Amino acid sequence: MNSAILTLVAQRIALGILLLFAVSALIFVGTQILPGDVAQSILGQAATPEAVVNLRRELGLNDPATVRYFHWLGGVLTGDFGTALTSRQEITATLMPRLWNTLFLAFSAAAVAVPLAILLGLLAVRYQGGLVDKTISGLALASTSLPEFFIGYVLIFFFAVNLQWFPSISTVYDGMPFFDKLKAIVLPATVLLLAVLAHMMRMTRAAILNVMQSAYVETAELKGLSAFNVIRKHAFPNAIAPIINVVMLNLAYLIVGVVVVEVIFVYPGMGQYLVDHVTKRDVPVVQAIGLIFAAVYIGLNIVADIASILTNPRLRHPK
């Protein structure tokens, strides 16, 4: 690996770390300017003023905002997200199972969506302008134009209520058999799959079509190679960088954008946990989930940037 690649990779990582610190400040400020009083929300409207004052002192809410931010950030850097205000439990301990559930749902959807999107993109390029291309593009656009909550309720109506093939509530728990878990998440994973499939397929198609205009592809065609072999052996490998980028972006969306899907299917993941504690105004939990979502999104974007750098032939083989 040459110095130019190492420099670019180091720059991307440093930029990602700085961006994460900036996002942490925005999350903290955003939760602090929310209307209402946290102590009052916890104790209820019937609480006495003395009780509210004592709870504010106990929670450190009377300290300056900068002191509270750096105290929170210091805990985060050591893996301590603090204590939930409503349940008085350690946030890290209660959050980790939820995080694993969200990752399981997201990666299960991605395991089907990514190869399927690439395959459909290759077929669309192979039969460009034909019936197959138009059908794939039309169905992809139709699926992405429908909101996730609508697709979710339609799937519940047909496959959970009418046919009773899958449960309408996607309950998973520790020790649950793997295939039972897969069955429980079929419907929410399908909603996520349909949400990202069209974008990945169209970007794959566009990236390969862009490479197909290159001189070396025309040379391969003149040598008598079949159209599919030209795409598979020459066009697709050189279009891999933008495809990796779009796959990583959509994987980030699968993890960060699961809130609606988890609420619809009552799935015990990060999104459901976030909604529950937003309604309770449990600020430390909201801050922790927001920061984890931001870290995942920024981290996957960094991975996409690094993958693009490593697959750039001009950087790998400098003159």
Distance CA 169, CA 188 (A): 10
Helices (H) and strands (E) in the chain, counts: 17, 0
Does one domain contain both 167 and 241?
yes
Does one domain contain both 12 and 137?
no
Does one domain contain both 100 and 73?
no
Does one domain contain both 202 and 245?
yes
In a domain, 319, yes or no: no
Does one domain contain both 68 and 175?
no
pLDDT of residue 85: 75
Query: Cα–Cα–Cα angle for 245, 100, 171, nearest 5°?
Result: 115
Does one domain contain both 160 and 296?
yes
Q: DSSP states of 96-133 as a string?
A: HHHHHHHHHHHHHHHHHHHHHHHHHHHHHHHTTTSHHH
In a domain, 271, yes or no: yes
- DSSP designation for 8: H
Does one domain contain both 7 and 147?
no
pLDDT of residue 46: 67
Distance CA 74, CA 121 (A): 46
Does one domain contain both 204 and 283?
yes
Distance CA 281, CA 147 (A): 27
In a domain, 91, yes or no: no
User: What are the contacts of 173-178 at 24+ separation with CB within 8 A?
Assistant: 173/268, 174/97
> With contact defined as beta carbons under 8 Å apart, do 205 and 212 qualify?
no
Q: How confident is the model at residue 222 (pLDDT cuts 50, 70, 90)?
A: low
Q: How confident is the model at residue 275 (pLDDT cuts 50, 70, 90)?
A: confident
pLDDT of residue 220: 66
Q: Provide the token pair at 280.
A: 């309770």
Tens digit of each residue's pLDDT (9 = 90 or more) over 236-267: 777 777 778 788 888 888 887 788 888 888 88
Tens digit of each residue's pLDDT (9 = 90 or more) over 190-213: 988 888 888 888 888 887 777 777
Q: What percent of the chain has pLDDT over 90?
A: 2
Instruction: Mark which of 24, 49, 77 sits at the end of a domain.
Output: 77
pLDDT of residue 37: 63
Does one domain contain both 153 and 299?
yes
In a domain, 317, yes or no: no
Higher pLDDT, 89 or 159: 159
Instruction: Mark which of 24, 42, 77 sits at the end of a domain.
Output: 77
Question: Three-class SS of residue 90?
Answer: strand
Does one domain contain both 69 and 186?
no
Query: Cα–Cα–Cα angle for 90, 181, 140, nearest 5°?
Result: 105
In a domain, 26, yes or no: yes
Mean pLDDT across the stretch 90-107?
Answer: 87
Distance CA 255, CA 111 (A): 13
Does one domain contain both 26 and 104?
no
In a domain, 39, yes or no: yes
Tens digit of each residue's pLDDT (9 = 90 or more) over 17-42: 999 999 989 988 887 776 666 666 66
Instruction: Mark which of 77, 106, 122 sits at the end of a domain.
Output: 77
* Domain ranges, residue 32: 3-77
Number of domains making up the chain: 2
CATH code of residue 269:
1.10.3720.10
pLDDT of residue 18: 93
Report CA-CA distances (Å) from 303 to 10, 182, 214, 299: 12, 27, 27, 6
Does one domain contain both 16 and 104?
no
In a domain, 316, yes or no: no
In a domain, 86, yes or no: no
> With contact defined as beta carbons under 8 Å apart, do 305 and 103 qualify?
no
Q: For residue 283, which of 84, 44, 76 has the smallest C-alpha distance?
A: 84
